[in-house]
Structure 1
Amino acid sequence: MSKEFVVGITGASGGIYGVRLVQELAAAGHLVHLLLTNASWQVFREELQWNITAGDRSSIPIWFKVDPASVQVHDMHDYRAPVASGSHHTDGMVIIPCSMGTLSAIAHGASDNLLERAADTALKEGRTLVVVPRETPMNAIHLRNMLMLAEAGARILPAMPGFYHLPQTIDDLVDFVVGKVLDALRIDHNLFRRWGE
């Protein structure tokens, strides 16, 4: 059964995590509302070596290698987008990777852009919100903000790949984290070998 998810990608290192998640959700037949911060475009250029034009939302399905019908890329300041309102039902939201700036804004109830507003909506509606911070080391402010979000109902799922599945490539490490996110969304996958299998 097709579901509807919101995926936010920020400027934290590890944009590949967000790309892989969108690919997996789209391949499973789900609709993705994609929210990209300004800094995420720079991460795509720097870390993925994409010659992508910042803000060119129409090119995202090509770069992400997904069916355009499966991804709706929203402008970060379009509050008319369906995900800005709790009356539009979604099956969950993931911010992957999540910068500490975005995490702080959500923890403190800011809604300065569509990503922050969508996250606030997920929390107020009691929907699944998975936050994948990608930062190290963390200071006390980071930890307090994560605790605030956890107490508000978010799942904190740091980008910390396991090694018991004997990863051979970077893709194996990425897939482990993305698989954990899919587990949090209760979506079946075969991205890594589970413990004991």
Structure 2
Amino acid sequence: MDRADGQRPRLIVGVTGASAPQLAIHLLTTLRKLGTVETRLVMSRAAHRTIELETGLRPAEVAELCDVSHPRGDIAADIASGSCLTLGMAVVPCSMKTLAAIAHGYSDDLLTRAADVCLKERRRLVLATRETPLSLVHLRNMVAVTEAGAVVLPPVPAYYHRPASLDDLLAHVTGKILDQFGIGHESFPRWQGPRKPPTPQLSEDSYEQQ
């Protein structure tokens, strides 16, 4: 997984103003604990406000979870260029505004530019789109980014692992995102098939009947 220069591979994490910045916080916290990749963070202007409203944290506190935090207006940052090697980018959560910008190549800040770079360089771009219900415009934009090579990964909760807490649900979404980049983790128990019922024990009467 290491780059040719011996450094850890880079993963870009974009955070937009969609509801549920907890998704990004859990992802960044998990990546920090794993320590296998270098994280690059870009937060939109709206993300700053949503983080404050929904988590009570300051954006600076979230930035402390990554290795490098880039100002959204720094279009000269290295991740704005395809020559900067990365595993790709995860936009978590991804607002419908950001989805629309990526779908139509409207790169007006570093977050959307970094996403555009991933598409043009054929690198993995994962969009954890967060909205419900979805309009026809939203769906068409999802089709457009998928055709361009992105992966639309709505943070839909799963229940086969029998989650007992909100953290269990967040961990599942984090794990699904990490899977897209081939990053090893143990965020959630994987489906192993239905549980086998216990083998019935034959009584002495059963043997006699046979």
Q: Same fold (TM over 0.5)?
A: yes
- 2:207 is matched with none
In 2, the alpha carbon distance for the partners of 1:24 and 1:110 equals 31
- The partner residue of 2:191 within 187, 192, 195 is 195
Give the whole-Å Cα distance in 2 for the aligned partners of 1:11 and 1:127: 24
Q: 1:120, CA displacement in angstroms?
A: 0.3
Cα shift readout 1:112-141 (whole Å, capped 9, x = no counterpart): 000000000000000000000011000110
CA distance in 2, matches of 1:61, 1:14: 16
SS in 1 for 2:137: helix
Q: Aligned equivalents of 1:15 and 1:149: distance in 2?
A: 22
Of all paired residues, the percent bearing the same amino acid is 42
Measured on the aligned residues, the alpha-carbon RMSD in Å equals 1.3
Could you tell me whether the CA contact under 8 Å between 2:155 and 2:173 is conserved in 1?
A: yes
Segments ≥4 residues shifted beyond 3 Å? 59-62
Please, which runs of 5 or more residues in structure 2 have no aligned partner?
A: 3-7, 194-210
Give the AA of the match of 1:10. Answer: T
Contact kept, 8 Å, 2:99 with 2:142, in 1: the verdict is yes
Equivalenced residues, count: 186
Give me the whole-angstrom Cα distance separating, in 2, the residues matched to 1:81 and 1:27. Answer: 25
Q: Distance in 2 between matches of 1:15 and 1:133?
A: 12
Shift of 1:20: 1.1
State the Cα distance separating 1:71 from its structure 2 match.
Answer: 1.6
Amino acid at match of 2:52: R
Aligned mates of 2:136, 2:69 — CA distance in 1:
34
Task: Tell me by how many angstroms 1:60 deviates.
Answer: 3.7
**Does 36-45 or 21-30 show the bigger shift?**
21-30
Provide the rounded CA distance (Å) in 1 between the counterparts of 2:157 and 2:9. 26
Q: 1: distance between equivalents of 2:107 and 2:20?
A: 23
Confirm or deny: 8 A CA contact 2:41 2:69 kept in the other structure: yes
Compute the displacement of 1:61 (Å).
4.5
Match of 1:142 among 138, 146, 163: 138
Aligned twin of 1:172: 168
> Which position in structure 2 is the counterpart of 1:101?
97
Q: Which residue is 1:79 aligned to?
A: 75
SS at match of 2:39: strand
Can you give the 5+ residue segments of structure 1 that lack an aligned partner in the other structure? Answer: none
Report the TM-score, using the length of structure 2 for normalisation.
0.85
Amino acid paired to 2:15: I
